[in-house]
Structure 1
Amino acid sequence: MRLIVENRFALFGLVALALLALFGVAFVIRPVNAELGVSEPDTVRPDLAARVCPAPHESSDDADSSVAAFAPRVSRDDEGELRAVPLAEVDEGGAGAQTLGEELTEPGRVWRTDTGDATRPTALHAEGALASGLDSAQTTVSDDAITEVRCAAPSIGTWFALPGADDPDDVDLETLTVHLANPEDFRATVSVDIYTMEGPSYSPESRGIHLGPGESTELDVTELIQNTGSLGVHVRTSTGRVAASLLAEHSSGNSDWVPPTRSPDEEHVIPGVPGGEGTRRLFVAAPGDEPVEARVRVVTEEPNDTDDEPLVLNVPPAASSWLTLESALSEAPGTVVVEADGPVVAGVIAEAVDGKKVVETAYTAAVDPLTGPLDTTAVIPDMPEDIDMELVLGALDEDARVVATPIAADGSMGDAVRAEVAAGTTHVLGTDTDGWGVPSGADPEDGYAVRLELLEGSGPVYAARVLRSGDALSVLPVTPAPVSVQLPVVRNSMTGIVP
């Protein structure tokens, strides 16, 4: 034995022999363990899901807030469970024991609970059929403002793009707050990276934030954005996962939840830029180490002229920049397409004005399209009472066909409305102009959901929901809510055990 240890060649031979024996055993038993891997692509229905809505930010005493959720029914045998609990603050530790609202056990119905008095984030936990195709959102409505935020799924990374605190046209922020929540059963460690026009900005407080199971916290990052007109914000974890939301409070007095945008990529599509007067501005951040040139074009209700030159935006490395879109949009609703020569993130701000006074702001962000074969459906879980709604649909290279179906709280369906979107255009489908909305016989106070379905043979479509009430304005980018998700091929691959 001593001879083997001292002889490096003998030791190497023993290691090689052991590895050969290990792979030999694996080769022999692999037919027996076929169920442990997937030898070809397959799909599965998720049976567990978690979502978190931050505590509502009410700008006035007359504001009403509620959280709504919806998961479509696929078969008559579908059953599951959806429940909601308040999360605790960091210094209290642990999730609250109180259940919010009634538990839902049947998909195809709208779940809703009042959060007007909530001071903590609301965590939704879904099992069985209520976990597949689930979407949820929180809406706050007052006499002069509408804010809404999609309840976030816990993730290892979330991106946002928005203005900074130093803007020449009064789009600037007064306060920027990152809301973090850990709805899971294990600890998470979070850091927040900010990309300004001058480069990265961070502080010791934005690094290594610890959140135990069921804990939540808020991080004020206003001091990190004082001297810039454009921002990219990245919330990332080194351990665990968190649900992240971003609240922007403007110097004009308006407050808005900034929707998360797609992770860095060379192509992005931002739907739902509302029509009307006021600032329309694109923000682009490049987190890499190289400068990026982004080419921007706007798709409106009229087909684009192929001879039009795209707008060009140059972004420094690990920094951000912005571009005004008012001239390109000409007050029409639109879809923004960003094509860059390096990875970027992107978002858009829109203002509603009364004369020269800014009365409301809203954000939209890049999303994935509704497209085949799996991402053909989407859910808008909460349609507030007595507020005009528009679906802003954008198609790029192919014609798209979409059906929108309103669904009452009890699961009854209203009249479906079909929309045809020509390639290279943006189409607006509105409740006030197209004669659809609350299903017949349903109580408007209970709210309703809308399910979007891409028809067979349709090209991809990008969607957002716009709410209007007087001067109040809000935009919610619509993301696919597939009932089934793709499983990767992991047979005979280390990706089966190594992420």
Structure 2
Amino acid sequence: MKQRVPLTLAAVTAALAAVTGLATLIAPTADGAPAAASGKAAARMPVERSLLVCPAPSTSDIAETVYTSITPGAAATGGKGTARLLGATKDAKPVLELKEPAKPVGAKASGAEAPALTGTADGFLAPGWTAQQTTVVSVGRTRGLLGTSCTVPATDFWFPAVSTAKGREDYVHLTNPDDNAAVVDIKLFGPDGAVKAEAGTSENIRIDPKSSKAISLASLAPGAQLADLTAHVTTRAGRVGATVQVGEEGVGSDWLPASVDPTGTLVMPGIPADATDVRLVVFAPGEEDADLRIRLAAASGSISPAGNEGIHVKAGMTASVDLKDVTRGEPGSLVLSPSEGKQTVPVVAALRVVRGSGAKQDLGFIQAAAPVGKRATVADNRTDDNATVLSLTATGADAKVKVTASPGTEGGEPAGQEVTVKAGTTQKVTLAPAGGKGSYALTVETVSGGPVYASRTLTLPRDGTPMFTVQTASDDHATVSVPKATQDLSVLTD
């Protein structure tokens, strides 16, 4: 007969602590079943730590870069927290440091020596922490306005709309924020499928701890001059921040962020009203072909671009279509969905966008984005006339959102307004802080209705060239699910 061992009070206490601690780490099941035996619903709690990485801004000696950082939410009422960006090297000094929520801070850098940055935020500055870098290069092969939101490091990235064509210079920037080395693979896919890489160039790429590396996509497959490609970046070990810097001779330059993960319906929000050339690039990563309907959600409703109502994408291949001046004078967003009667096939997509003409052009990209969700923020907006335009797109159902402009980095009072976005439309919003100086942040919060997609276009003209950059704004994941737990003494008995 088995003999029961008596439990001391200390042992009971330790066991209860272990059970309670375990319950807080178990997430709810996919079908909504309780996460722990208690059956208590999970609570949403603010995240306690956020991590961001920013790529090295430019290789140009005349580059001028502005960094802007903010944690959205209520103004500081006490609490503790830190948020800082610093060079992606060991023992680097902070470039930018945030002191309180709701008030952005800025910093500047000049020339080609500005490094990639990594940063962490904790405490009351962690939920929704956002940072942006914006670089102006006035002349030269890489002339343009290059903007990118600093991103969360991950292990898997899709970059449709990259190229190895003559006149293009595409570099994928890989930044490792951790104390251990990361190992990365890069694969390219063109209109005929996988592009054969030169041996030893695209696999097992080592990114040392606390460092960054820029990889020329043309160097991976010398001689393969292809205009429309998709790059797939994955890690074998560790995690990285990844984004692609694009320079196109005679046109301009900008950052190309990763597309949202493969899915059946995609939204690319905020094509500028005066876009002179828009090119759609789509990739189907699975084993099934995709037949997609193309719709433009404009201010007055959704339309199908004449002659380009749909696109067929073969499995494992990249397809593209030139939509030219599809917006025709009003801002819009491109929506891809399964063609009528066709199955849903996950795809990734991005837009190459050109404004201006002749020698007065600039280049930008809009990747397929995730919705705003509960809240999304984009930093570094400017108060100059028509410099900042926010585009909001509703899909499936009408939606109401609240838009807030923070104070500027050099002063001003916040401003806000509620916006109703009709289903299938894109609405333009121009909002700035009262008396704002410096750069400011725009925060979008969903109030009611269906999903909303958002992007911000920043325009800083130079010598008659409409230099611009577009950044999408997706859910900042400021909260996480924390299941509740109760004590269950039955676990202490046989």
For the aligned pair, the TM-score class normalised by the smaller chain equals 0.7 to 0.9
SS of the residue corresponding to residue 294 of structure 2 reads strand
- Deviation of 1:205 after TM superposition, in Å, equals 1.4
1:453 is matched with: 445
Task: Tell me which residue corresponds to 1:208.
Answer: 204
Match of 1:138 in 2: 133
Change (3 A) 1:163 1:35: closer
- 5 Å-filtered alignment, 1:456-475, equals 457-470=448-461, 471-475=466-470
Two-structure CA RMSD over aligned residues (Å): 2.8
1:87 aligns with 88
Residues 78/267 of structure 1: CA separation in 2 closer, same or farther (3 Å cut): farther
1:300-337: CA deviation from partner (whole Å, max 9, x where unpaired): 11123699998221222211011122365334321111
Amino acid at match of 2:441: A
More deviation, 210-219/383-392: 383-392
More deviation in 416-425 or 305-314? Answer: 305-314
User: 2:92 maps to which residue?
Assistant: 97
Give the TM-score taking structure 1 as reference length. Answer: 0.80
For residue 177 of structure 2, what is the amino acid of its counterpart?
P
Alpha-carbon distance between aligned partners in 1 of 2:67 and 2:305, rounded to the nearest angstrom: 46
Shift, 1:451, TM fit: 1.8
Q: Which residue of 2 aligns with 1:423?
A: 423
Residue matched to 2:22: 36
Q: Deviations over 1:405-436 (max 9, x none)?
A: 22123786422133221111111113xxxxx4
Q: What is the CA distance between 1:393 and its match in structure 2?
A: 0.9
Offset at residue 359 of structure 1 (A): 0.9
Structure-2 change in CA distance of 1:100 and 1:31 (3 Å): closer
TM-score, L = length of structure 2: 0.81
Q: Which moved more, 1:155-164 or 1:232-241?
A: 155-164
Q: In the superposition, relative to structure 1, how do residues 331 and 385 fare at CA in structure 2: closer, same or farther (>3 Å)?
A: closer
The one-letter amino acid of 1:152's match is: T
2:55/2:117 contact within 8 Å kept: yes
Match of 1:347 among 333, 350, 356: 350
Quote the residue 2:239 is aligned against: 241
Distance 1:378 1:366 in 2: 15
Identity %: 25
Mapped to 2, the partners of 1:404 and 1:188 lie a distance apart of: 38
Q: SS in structure 2 opposite 1:283?
A: strand
The answer on whether the counterparts of 1:56 and 1:115 sit within 8 Å (CA) in structure 2 is: no
Which residue of 2 is the match for residue 120 of structure 1?
A: 115
Over residues 196-222 of structure 1, what are the superposed CA-to-partner deviations in whole Å (9 max), with x where a residue is unaligned? Answer: 112112342121112232021111111
CA–CA distance in structure 2, aligned partners of residues 359 and 308 of structure 1: 25
Q: Distance in 2 between matches of 1:410 and 1:480?
A: 27
CA deviations over 1:58-104 (Å, ceiling 9, x no partner): 6572x42021111124572343101222113xxxxxx2432224x33
Match of 2:300 in 1: 302
Q: Does 1:218 align with 2:214?
A: yes
Residues 151-203 of structure 1, C-alpha deviation per residue, up to 9 Å, x if partnerless? 1211011221115344xxxxx75211011111112221111121111211234
Aligned amino acid, residue 355 of structure 2:
A
Report the count of equivalent residues: 436
Counterpart of 2:256?
258
Structure 2 equivalent of residue 312 of structure 1: 310
2:101 matches 1:107: yes
CA distance in 2, matches of 1:163, 1:185: 30
For 2:20, give the aligned amino acid.
A
Distance 2:184 2:280 in 1: 27
Tell me which amino acid in the other structure corresponds to 1:214.
Answer: K
Q: Is residue 152 of structure 2 the alignment partner of residue 153 of structure 1?
A: yes
Q: Is the 8 A contact 1:198 1:228 kept in 2?
A: no
Deviations 1:366-409 (A, max 9, x none): 11112xxxx32111221245361100111122122222222123
Q: 2 CA distance for matches of 1:215 and 1:273?
A: 34
Equivalent position to 2:384, from 380, 383, 386: 386
Structure 1 pair 303–278 and aligned structure 2 pair: CA distance change class (3 A): same
The equivalent of 1:13 in structure 2 is none
Structure 1 position 485, deviation (Å): 2.6
Relative to structure 1, the CA distance from residue 461 to residue 212 in structure 2 (aligned partners, 3 Å threshold; closer, same or farther) is same
Q: Which moved more, 1:284-293 or 1:326-335?
A: 326-335
Q: Which amino acid aligns with 1:464?
A: S
Q: Give the Cα–Cα distance (whole angstroms) in 1 for the partners of residues 334 and 482 of structure 2.
A: 31
Query: Which letter maps to 2:365?
Result: Y
Pick aligned residue for 2:124 from 120, 129, 132: 129
Checking the alignment, whether the CA contact within 8 Å between 1:297 and 1:310 is kept in structure 2 is no
Q: What is residue 434 of structure 2 aligned with on the other side?
A: 439
Structure 1 residues 47, 319: closer, same or farther in 2, change over 3 A? same
Amino acid at match of 2:257: P
Which stretch of the first structure deviates more once superposed, 465-474 or 345-354? Answer: 465-474
Q: Tell me the residue number matched to 2:168.
A: 174
Structure 1: distance between partners of 2:42 and 2:193: 42
d(CA) in 1 for partners of 2:352 and 2:415? 33
1:197/1:229 contact within 8 Å kept: no
1:12 alignment partner in structure 2: none
After superposition, the Cα gap between the structure-2 partners of 1:477 and 1:218, relative to the gap in structure 1 and judged at 3 Å, is same
2:395 matches 1:401 = no
Give the aligned residue type for 1:248: V
Contact 2:296–2:332 (Cα < 8 Å) also in 1: yes
What CA distance in whole angstroms lies between the structure 2 residues aligned with 1:490 and 1:174? 56
Provide the secondary structure at the position in 1 that maps to 2:201: helix
Q: Is the 8 A contact 2:144 2:363 kept in 1?
A: no
Runs of 5+ in structure 1 lacking a partner? 1-28, 89-94, 167-171, 431-435, 492-499
CA distance 1:282–1:414, change in 2 (3 Å): same
Q: State how far apart, in whole Å, the 1-side matches of 2:305 and 2:204 are.
A: 50
Code of the residue aligned with 2:370 in structure 1: it is D
More helix as a share of residues: 1
SS in structure 2 of the partner of residue 205 of structure 1? coil
1:363 aligned to 2:365?
Answer: yes
Alpha-carbon distance in 1 for matches of 2:310, 2:366: 20
Distance 2:305 2:390 in 1: 29
Cα pair 1:79 1:105 within 8 Å, conserved: no
